[in-house]
Chain A
Amino acid sequence: MNEITQGFWDAWALILFFDPDLYEIIFLSLRVTVTAVVIASLIGLPIGALLAVNRFRHRRFVIALLNALMGLPPVVVGLFVYMLLSRAGPLGGFGLLFSPSAMIIAQVIIITPLIASISHQTVRDLWANYHDLLISLNTTRAQRISALLWDSRRALLTATLAGFGRAIGEVGAIIIVGGNIDHATRVLTTAIALETGKGNFAFAMGLGMVLIMLAIIVNLLIHNLTKTEQASTW
């Protein structure tokens, strides 16, 4: 119990005294995860909508696959991305291993299925309502998808935030492909893993508190921004 309270105080001390290392780590955590969420949303949201609108042969299988991939073990993704980006691997020539880019790639793989699955559920429900209208207006497929995505934007925000939540708290993949290098690829979660390994539980708890606070702040911020649209019915 003592170490938990100690961790709480450590967290405040770190934040209030503007520990530069901590702010560097926080900034990198945000940079990696926000970039990954943006890329994964650009891929995942259209896939989700496409699966809701389109009827094709193996649709059910693809949806089941996507749902199953939501549970991808990060450490396996990490190993896979490591083998891809390793100098001995097929994409080794780019020299991306142990860089923030490698961490972004791993996180995109982890959260794209999650974002696509949730957005598929959301858009599917809306498509049931809009189906007759959009068909009667003789819209193209692209128009349908963009209309559906736009009109369910607030629910899709949940999909994006779920992706953010999974990515910001992820450690198994990014510690393998990022290498947890001080001042280069160290983020909050890998720093927590490191301090736990050193037996510095209070400090690790402190970093954990910072991580939770960061997630809350980001979520509150996003919810505040979307409140500006309260007038719209959807």
Chain B
Amino acid sequence: MKLGWKVLVAATLIASASHAETLRMAVTTSFYNSGLSEVLLPEIKADLGLEVQLIVVGTGQALRLGKAGDVDAILVHFRIAEEDFVEGGFGTHRREIMYNDFVFIGPSDDPANLTEANSAIDALQRIYAVKATFASRGDDSGTHKMEMNLWDAAELSTELPEGDWYRAAGASMGATLNVASGMNAYVLSDRASWLSFGNKGDLVLLYAGDPALFNQYAYIPVNPTLHPHVHSELALILEDWLTGAKAAELITNYTVNGEDLFTFNASTK
């Protein structure tokens, strides 16, 4: 058995290959699915010699990874939770980078008449009125939290949306879009995930444009006083790059299928 342990240790050591200068950043699925990271990461590597490794998760999980010090920085989109995160001392500061927006997707025959909605809340009330099938993320992600806030503002007759028509998928944006596509249901999605989604089926974009649907992304470096091992200098170098002129140009000019996705709005220091 002694030999067994030696082999075990050796195998584990061989498996953990050497690391270059890398930074780990937890990002939300919506950011990753937009494809923007595939434009930004090679440029970051060329300019800074920095390899950014992305852990693609929901906002809730990204914040957990940051709290535990398992990543060096996070890029997420749910302001209240982000501010709690910084106030709790888990992050050094919050820096806004860019925004895109959420959109209402639904079946092309549009039984709830969303095309005539005049606000995001009105759109939800229309869905509720005819009890049209609605697929929710149901996973405590940034998108899900946005949806719940909107339902809350829509002042339904029940406390929360419930019933056969309301399906909480408990899954990522892509998986929830797959559910909506399969059931021909309404769904709230970030625009990036929707545009790059490959299984649209009968679904179309029905409503967008309410400022309440804006989706602000913010960058938060993990606090090095709490987690001395995090690469906080690298995180600050990356922040400078992400808020700089080159990033502004790349982000603003990024399109999917000819449509603009993001609006760069980082303040210069």
Contacts and interface: CB of A to CB of B under 8 A. Distances in A.
A201 B4 contact: no
Interface string B30-74: 000100000000000000000001111000000000011110000
Contact of B54 (A42, A92, A182): A182
Contact of B15 (A31, A97, A180, A181): A31
A169 interface: no
A88 interface: yes
A184 B175 contact: no
Contacts of A180: 55-56
Contact of A39 (B11, B33, B174): B11
Contact of B174 (A42, A105, A182, A199): A199
B173 interface: yes
Nearest to A204: B198
B114 to A, nearest CB: 21
A43 B5 CA distance: 9
A46 interface: yes
Interface in A85-104: 86-89, 92, 95-101, 104
Interface string A32-74: 1001001100110010000000000000000000000000000
Contact of A198 (B69, B198, B229): B198
Interface in B134-193: 172-175, 177-178, 181
A172 interface: no
A196 interface: yes
B229 A87 contact: yes
Given A35-B15, A42-B8, A197 B172 contact: yes
Interface in B58-96: 67-70
Interface residues of B, number: 35
A5 interface: no
A182 B56 CA distance: 10
Given A35-B11, A87-B70, A101-B12, A199 B199 contact: yes
B53 A201 contact: no
Question: Main SS of the interface on chain B?
Answer: mixed
B92 to A, nearest CB: 16
Interface in A193-233: 194, 196-201
A38 B229 contact: no
A89 B65 CA distance: 12
Contacts of A179: 53, 55-56
A200 B198 contact: yes
B7 interface: yes
A199 B15 CA distance: 32
Interface string A1-37: 0000000000000000000000000000001100100
A95 B33 contact: no
Nearest to A201: B199
B15 A184 contact: no
Nearest to B37: A182
B70 A100 contact: no
A87 B69 contact: yes
Interface of B: 1, 4, 7-8, 11-12, 14-17, 24, 29, 33, 53-56, 67-70, 172-175, 177-178, 181, 196-200, 227, 229
Given A92-B69, A182-B53, 10 more contacts: A39-B11, A39-B12, A88-B67, A89-B68, A100-B15, A194-B56, A197-B175, A198-B196, A199-B197, A199-B200
9 contacts: A38-B7, A39-B11, A87-B69, A88-B68, A95-B229, A98-B24, A100-B17, A101-B12, A199-B199
